[in-house]
Amino acid sequence: MPNSKGSDCTCRLAKEVCLLKAVVNAQSKTLSKLVRQLKDGCRKDEEPKESTLCGLNPCLKCLQPDILYHLGLDTETTDFPKVFGDVRFVCMGGTPGRMENFAYYLMQEIGLKINAATKLRDMAEGGRRFSMFKVGPVLCASHGMGCPSISILLHELIKTMHHAKCQDPVFIRIGTCGGIGVDPGTVVISSEAVDGRLNPAHEILVQGISVQHASQLDEGLAEEIKSCHDPCTDNHEVIIGRTLCTQDFYEGQARLDGAFCEYTLEAKKTYLEELQNQQVKNIEMESLAFAALTSRANIRSAVVCVAILNRLNGDQIKTPHEVLAKWEKRPQVLVARYIRKILYFNENDSDSEPLEEEECEETPEKTRASQGGAGDTQKAPEVEAE
């Protein structure tokens, strides 16, 4: 009789070996590249002189130093190119705990976990507002709730990318949302963000004058992230759709359970049904500012949120905490797979080779996917299976 525990263990080991092999392959490719550059004569002026970001404040160069107040960083005491120059992904989510757990999860997923005791430092601790962790080429930051909060963080993160001379960083927001006609637990990737009037623009008042910035998101990136969904192992759907971004959780989202409510159940139903007719799939509170600010800077970006209820069925969130914690991991698992794929299995990168099929029963993407991710309620750095 084959011992099922033993074969499970062998299978897990084989998968770990596959992942390790991919990481080692990628690292040895990077090493070869460096050696080649050395042989070719490494000239200092080959390093990028500027970041790839566009349209930034021309006065930034006059700020010496530039103080990023809410991150607790400044360009005098921190060498931005040295500390942040390698950043390729910036992941943002609501709470410090969720982003810290995500950082530990990523560390494991992208093969950077040196040992179990590795501790990550909160790089934004000095600002006492946000939390920020760096895992190799990935920055993970908490953004709080609502557009005003995420806007402040984005201004300072975009300046961070600029000062560090980062090349083509991709920004991804992961979070929760209310679904519109979608099953709770579904992951929604936003095609665009719209306001309460379904206008696809983030409106801000600048010196008392209304200014609107387009809030389109990168369609290609949304598709790439969606393609990391594995319908065979994932117990949920991943869809792409329009996202309504509101200024408030209660009246702004037509809830009937806020401290104040001056409309009827009928009016709420009519509004939510109209949203559904207009292909709105979810409601959250940061996507407008996130989409507008990233696209102004020429940054590719995506919003990936799990629906924790279907708003057509109610307002209150009654799902048990443990279930919510599992659902919250879904965007994290998907985004971690996407990052790993780009880092180690990018077909467009002539220097990287995918793993040979016969060596692995499942691709590492699939392997890790089924193991779940980190959630807000989970203690770092453990990873719990869904």
Q: Which residues sit at the interface with ligand URA, rule CB under 6 A?
A: 176-178, 249, 253, 283-285, 308
Report the residue number, 166 or 188, with the smaller CB distance to ligand URA: 188
Which partner in ligand R2B, ligand URA, none is near 169 (CB below 5 to 8 A by kind)? none
Contact 306, 328 (CB under 8 A): yes
Closer by beta carbon to ligand R2B, 286 or else 365: 286
Q: How far is the CB of 42 from ligand R2B (least distance, A)?
A: 45
Residue 286 contact partner, candidates ligand R2B, ligand URA, none, CB within 5 to 8 A by sort of partner = ligand R2B
Which does residue 308 bind out of ligand R2B, ligand URA, none, counting CB within 5 to 8 angstroms by kind?
Answer: ligand URA
Q: Which does 283 bind (CB under 5 to 8 A by kind): ligand R2B, ligand URA, none?
A: ligand URA
253 binds, among ligand R2B, ligand URA, none (CB under 5 to 8 A by kind): ligand URA
Identify whether the C-beta of residue 214 lies closer than 8 Å to the C-beta of residue 345.
no
129 marked among binding-site residues: yes
Shortest distance, position 143 Cβ to ligand R2B, whole Å: 8
Decide which of ligand R2B, ligand URA, none touches 94; Cβ closer than 5 to 8 Å per partner kind.
ligand R2B
Compare residues 145 and 221 and give the one whose CB is closer to ligand R2B. 145
Tell me the residue number closest to ligand URA, measured at CB.
178
174 is in an annotated binding site: yes
Interaction partner, residue 145 (ligand URA, ligand R2B, none; CB < 5-8 Å by kind): ligand R2B
Report d(CA 104, CA 101) in Å as an integer. Answer: 5
304 or 339, CB closer to ligand URA? 304
Residue 93 contact partner, candidates ligand R2B, ligand URA, none, CB within 5 to 8 A by sort of partner: none
Residue among 24 and 317 whose Cβ is closer to ligand R2B? 317
Smallest distance from ligand R2B to CB 249, Å: 5
Looking at beta carbons only, is 176 or 367 nearer to ligand URA? Answer: 176
Strands 209-214 and 201-206: antiparallel
Q: Which is nearer to ligand R2B, 234 or 284 (CB)?
A: 284
CB of 178 to ligand R2B, least distance (A): 8
Nearer CB in complex with ligand R2B: 18/91: 91
* Distance between CA atoms of residues 316 and 314, nearest Å: 6
Q: Residue 180 to residues 97, 190, 218: CA-CA distances in angstroms?
A: 27, 13, 22
CB of 341 to ligand R2B, least distance (A): 26
Contact (Cβ atoms closer than 8 angstroms) between residue 343 and residue 137: yes
176 annotated as a binding-site residue: yes
The two three-digit tokens of residue 268, written as one number: 């709420």
Number of other residues whose CB lies within 10 A of the CB of residue 313:
9
Residues in contact with ligand R2B by the rule CB under 6 A? 94, 145, 175-177, 249, 284-286
Least distance from C-beta 375 to ligand URA, angstroms?
A: 15
CB of 87 to ligand URA, least distance (A): 28
User: Nearest distance from residue 179's CB to ligand URA, in Å?
Assistant: 8
Q: Which residues are within 8 A (CB) of 146 and not within 5 positions of it... i.e. 6 or more apart?
A: 247, 285, 286
Positions at the binding site:
129, 173-176, 253, 255
Instruction: Please state the residue numbers annotated as binding site for phosphate.
Output: 129, 173-176
Known binding residues for substrate are 253, 255
